[in-house]
Structure 1
Amino acid sequence: MTQQTHGAPGGRAGRPRIQDTADDLVASVLATAGSRVGTRAFSTRRVAELTGLSQTVVSRAFRRLRRRGAEPAEPPRLAGPLELVELQVAFPRIRVVFGVAEAPAPAAQRTAADRRATALLAALRVAGVGQWAGGSEEVAEPGRERVAPGRLVHEWSPGRDWEAFLDAVAAGLDVAAPSLDAVPGDLLGLLAARVGRGLHGVDWRRDARRAPGETAVGEDPGNDSNRYSDSDQAFGVLSVPEYPAPGSAPERSRSAGRWLPHGELSVTEQIAIALRREIMNAGYRPGDRITAGPLAATLGLSAATVRTAMRRLADDGLLDSAAGGFSVPAVTGADVVDLYAARLHVGMVLLRGVAARPRHRMLPARLALGAVEAAARQGSGADVERADLQFQQELADASGLEQSARSFHALTLRVRMFISVLQLDYTPAAERIVADDRRLLTAVLEGRAEDAVRIWRAKLDNAVRHMSALAPEAFDAELWARLSR
């Protein structure tokens, strides 16, 4: 089989770069759509509107992602329409298993079923798993099938032919039953929630589907890595992953991965996340001492590594350090005003930059806005806060101003720590946050930079007053007015 470029069929020398870019964009949209991918919200027309591409280019991207006309080494040999029964992604192996469909397929579901198949292939494409390096070679040849009783098994590991593996999976989907259950919605939701972190840890089995909260035999009830909920589908993919996938490539996909929210974290950032969780869960208050031992056990790191990272957090003001120990920092009203004034002004620079960027650069921010909306409908106040801050960071990253975006990220880490220390509840503000974020995104998409700045100023004014109401000191309205001009 001829090797193809950028993971899509039909690649050839001289193909216009715009189509490759369009394939990346469309794949990211479909991979993060979850079970809704078969609805009208993800028709070629709606995806064209979302990405700013022409409908013709989007339609071509759909066909290329679906890999129509793929020629696997051997055609599927199972009789009857097929359905997916297993999908596992665990370094260094990917395993996709088809079985014979049990129920007859309603013809009315054919279009939606085909789009679900496209979304599955898109998720495999954009997750970057095809760039894994190293690992065992003791797996079946990709592109060739292994037929177990009533099963068709495709496996891949590093060093094998990735394109042949995708072609083989696409060929299996070609003969899948034209029904929604052939590629179930819970699988698509799980993929949507994990694609931003490389799909590592996905372990879906049709015969092991269970009710939310139910623990399988041998599963650690404290490990939620393989559980899935509606909220995971809605905004899990947009959350910053807390632990990088072991064995995953050091870089995200060089193509489609750049359209997804960023996911690489330093050890210090991982510890900051675990520390915020510890503060929230254990009810720590300002001045309480925190030791490295519990965090080291949680993260599977040495106590020395955690202490080094905690010293960096102390240098950044995220922890207090005295006499060789660490404690939860005090947060005053002046601290809140200072922090938000800095975020206000850096954010103004970023919004003026992002408003001048091409529309397709806003795709991660559009997806992040969907996460904010879903969190407001289905999640907790903490979910709304996390999704809102992620949305803000996606706008910052879309600006192309790397230094300012990096500064904004550092300020956001501090905001998250303040929220943890103050035990803030954003539930009452959820509707306002959604409305502000919608207006903000609309303004930058339409190139109205100064309107975006005005909306941003009002948004932060509301946020700082909310935070300062719970700070130990009274809110200094005069200081805020002076710094936020």
Structure 2
Amino acid sequence: METTGRGRPRIQDAADDIVAAVLATAGARVSTPDFSTRRIAELTGLSQTLVSRACRRIRRARPDAAGAGDDVPAGDDVAAGDPGALVLAEVHVRFPQIWLHFTPVAAPPGTQAAATSQSTAARRRATALMASLHASEAARWRIRDAGDAASAEAEPFVPGPLSACWDAHDPDWEQFLDRTAGLLSRCAPTVDAIPGDLLDLLARRAGRGLHGTQWRRGLPKSAHISDSSSEDVAPPADLERSPRNRWFSQVELSVTEQIAIALRREITNSGFRAGDRLSPNVLGDRLGLSRSTVRSAMSRLVDDGLLDSDQGSFRVPAVTVADVVDLYAARLHLGMVLLRACAVQPRHQMLPVRLALGAVEAAATQGTRSDAGLADLQFQQELAEASGLSQSARAFHALTLRVRMFIAVLRLDYSPAVERIVSDDRRILTAVLAGDAEAAVRSWRLKLDNAVRHMSALAPESFDAELWSRLSR
């Protein structure tokens, strides 16, 4: 079997990364049976043995604890009434530092039995937190030179006996993980030791290296820095960006794409209509970018058909039925190619797609009227990325940017269609996972047929059914 320089099988290292991605994005749901080793094995296509071993390695359990628990190994757990029992009190991730602080807790009398019944869920939560650190790839943070060090200065955290600290200036990542795992093993065996709101926050930021996470026990959720917007741009400083984890989204945002996102928000929030003028100066001030940079990016958006230009000024584009039909016909046929490629990929390659489907389902039940549509587009892009066809995926991404602009201009409301969106996406992914490419393509055709008719209904012209039928054959 092929091994790494440390003598570990490469297949296990890959399994560790895959399982860490699943647990890091599970949030508070990690405590449920949906995240048992058996269910994770079914989700990823890995063997249950590989999954169990990955959980132990992520949790950094002792070899003699390998048989403890049914899902996630126990560390040096202490009783909830032990004065030495801990709970997690604070978590901060701010380049170039990560800091976790624990505090002692004494359980009220009579809670021992209840705590024991929660021990499995508590171990899963501890492993999910370690998985978030594993998936963050902070071990690769580097201070490259004196200039970088000056720009990355942060107020140092004061280490204490109940703290675990990591600093890229003096890196010892393995020691930090050992320290964190040791403190987690002393936590009270109750779900409150690692609260669900923290796990949900980490899950939302998992694909971005946990950057900007600040959490403190007892604070309201609104006080935590969280990834509340599905279109937030990436951190501006290169040093704050860890290498892309291959099991998360692979779509990078260029400056031009970030400005396109800001433009869509401007159009939506300010009530602009087709033909209204857009100011590079205003956008530059809001994004913290120079006016020349914004103007150059907006000129590129004109070239891509996302903006109109008239004598040096920029305007909201008009969207015709022909534009909608043209765009969706291109996405239809390119999507068919991508789905056929996805159907022959190994199951674990579909992990980001599975996670994206979860986001669609969550948006459908908990999000705003636009969240479901945006989550659906991200699901589609994850399918494109999972296909292994980099050129086609890039072309599909460009078409998706145009769809998002159309959504903003036409002010689409997806709330009446959320159940159909979820149903379509489930059918597509089920067919892909079964290797049934043609079933996936049929579901994709139906999905886009519904979408083009929905979008065209809001265009200023009547829908050209004959044109759509001719292009979508």
Find the residue that maps to 1:425 and give its secondary structure: coil
User: Cα deviations across residues 126-178 of structure 1 (Å, max 9, x unaligned)?
Assistant: 0122221114598579xxx523xxxx122111131011101100000011111
Query: How many Å apart are 1:40 and its aligned residue?
Result: 0.6
Find the residue that maps to 2:297 and give its secondary structure: helix
Segments of structure 1 that go 5 or more residues without pairing to the other structure are: 1-5, 217-224
Name the amino acid aligned to 1:165: F
- Go from structure 1 to structure 2 and tell me whether the alpha carbon gap of 1:68 and 1:245 turns closer, same or farther (over 3 Å shift): farther
User: Equivalent residue for 1:153?
Assistant: 163
Does the 8 A contact of 2:17 with 2:135 survive in 1? yes
Q: In terms of mean alpha carbon deviation, does 451-460 or 124-133 score higher?
A: 124-133
Query: What is the alpha-carbon distance in structure 1 between the residues aligned to residue 43 and residue 453 of structure 2?
Result: 34
**1:196 corresponds to which of 207, 211, 227:** 207
User: Cα deviations across residues 308-349 of structure 1 (Å, max 9, x unaligned)?
Assistant: 110111110000011001000000000000000000011011
Q: Equivalences for 1:312-351 in 2 at 5 Å?
A: 312-351=300-339
Query: How many Å apart are 1:68 and its aligned residue?
Result: 1.2
Q: Equivalences for 1:111-190 in 2 at 5 Å?
A: 111-134=120-143, 135=149, 136=153, 139=156, 146-147=160-161, 152-158=162-168, 159-190=170-201
User: Cα deviations across residues 7-26 of structure 1 (Å, max 9, x unaligned)?
Assistant: xxxx8733221111111110
Query: How many Å apart are 1:381 and its aligned residue?
Result: 2.4
Query: What is the alpha-carbon distance in structure 2 between the residues aligned to residue 308 and residue 101 of structure 1?
Result: 57
Segments of structure 2 that go 5 or more residues without pairing to the other structure are: 64-75, 144-148
Query: How many Å apart are 1:262 and its aligned residue?
Result: 2.9
Does the 8 A contact of 2:141 with 2:239 survive in 1? yes
User: Cα deviations across residues 338-389 of structure 1 (Å, max 9, x unaligned)?
Assistant: 0000000110110111111111100000111111111111112210001100
User: Equivalent residue for 1:97?
Assistant: 101
Name the amino acid aligned to 2:370: A
Name the amino acid aligned to 1:16: P
Q: Share of identical aligned residues, percent? A: 62
Does the 8 A contact of 1:296 with 1:303 survive in 2? yes
User: Cα deviations across residues 431-452 of structure 1 (Å, max 9, x unaligned)?
Assistant: 0010000000011111111111
Query: What is the alpha-carbon distance in structure 1 between the residues aligned to residue 362 and residue 155 of structure 2?
Result: 42
- Go from structure 1 to structure 2 and tell me whether the alpha carbon gap of 1:251 and 1:187 turns closer, same or farther (over 3 Å shift): closer
1:46 paired with 2:46, answer no
Query: How many Å apart are 1:241 and its aligned residue?
Result: 3.8
Does the 8 A contact of 2:372 with 2:415 survive in 1? yes
Find the residue that maps to 2:102 and give its secondary structure: strand
State the TM-score, normalizing by the size of structure 2.
Answer: 0.89
User: Equivalent residue for 1:82?
Assistant: 86
Query: What is the alpha-carbon distance in structure 1 between the residues aligned to residue 432 and residue 209 of structure 2?
Result: 29
Find the residue that maps to 1:97 and give its secondary structure: strand
Name the amino acid aligned to 2:9: P
Query: What is the alpha-carbon distance in structure 1 between the residues aligned to residue 197 and residue 33 of structure 2?
Result: 19
Query: What is the alpha-carbon distance in structure 2 between the residues aligned to residue 476 and residue 49 of structure 1?
Result: 44
Query: What is the alpha-carbon distance in structure 2 between the residues aligned to residue 280 and residue 353 of structure 1?
Result: 36
Query: What is the alpha-carbon distance in structure 2 between the residues aligned to residue 414 and residue 305 of structure 1?
Result: 21
User: Equivalent residue for 1:32?
Assistant: 25
Find the residue that maps to 1:154 and give its secondary structure: strand
User: Equivalent residue for 1:426?
Assistant: 414
Q: In terms of mean alpha carbon deviation, does 239-248 or 301-310 score higher?
A: 239-248
Does the 8 A contact of 1:436 with 1:455 survive in 2? yes
Q: Equivalences for 1:202-351 in 2 at 5 Å?
A: 202-207=213-218, 209-210=219-220, 213=222, 226-227=225-226, 239=230, 241-244=232-235, 246-248=237-239, 252-253=243-244, 257-262=245-250, 264-351=252-339
Query: What is the alpha-carbon distance in structure 1 between the residues aligned to residue 382 and residue 426 of structure 2?
Result: 14
User: Equivalent residue for 2:13?
Assistant: 20
Find the residue that maps to 2:118 and give its secondary structure: helix
User: Equivalent residue for 1:110?
Assistant: 119
Does the 8 A contact of 2:202 with 2:213 survive in 1? yes
Query: What is the alpha-carbon distance in structure 1 between the residues aligned to residue 181 and residue 44 of structure 2?
Result: 25
Query: What is the alpha-carbon distance in structure 1 between the residues aligned to residue 338 and residue 242 of structure 2?
Result: 25
Name the amino acid aligned to 1:394: E
1:470 paired with 2:458, answer yes
- Count of aligned residue pairs for this structure pair: 441
Q: In terms of mean alpha carbon deviation, does 130-139 or 453-462 score higher?
A: 130-139
Query: How many Å apart are 1:250 and its aligned residue?
Result: 5.0
Find the residue that maps to 2:7 and give its secondary structure: coil
Name the amino acid aligned to 2:378: Q
Q: Equivalences for 1:310-459 in 2 at 5 Å?
A: 310-459=298-447
Query: What is the alpha-carbon distance in structure 1 between the residues aligned to residue 267 and residue 254 of structure 2?
Result: 20
Query: How many Å apart are 1:301 and its aligned residue?
Result: 0.8
Find the residue that maps to 1:94 and give its secondary structure: strand
- Go from structure 1 to structure 2 and tell me whether the alpha carbon gap of 1:60 and 1:246 turns closer, same or farther (over 3 Å shift): same
State the TM-score, normalizing by the size of structure 1.
Answer: 0.87
Q: In terms of mean alpha carbon deviation, does 371-380 or 332-341 score higher?
A: 371-380
- Go from structure 1 to structure 2 and tell me whether the alpha carbon gap of 1:137 and 1:163 turns closer, same or farther (over 3 Å shift): farther
Query: How many Å apart are 1:122 and its aligned residue?
Result: 0.4
- Go from structure 1 to structure 2 and tell me whether the alpha carbon gap of 1:138 and 1:164 turns closer, same or farther (over 3 Å shift): farther
Find the residue that maps to 1:381 and give its secondary structure: coil
Name the amino acid aligned to 2:36: S
Query: How many Å apart are 1:28 and its aligned residue?
Result: 0.3
Does the 8 A contact of 1:350 with 1:401 survive in 2? yes
Name the amino acid aligned to 1:379: G
User: Cα deviations across residues 421-473 of structure 1 (Å, max 9, x unaligned)?
Assistant: 00000000000010000000011111111111111111101100000011011
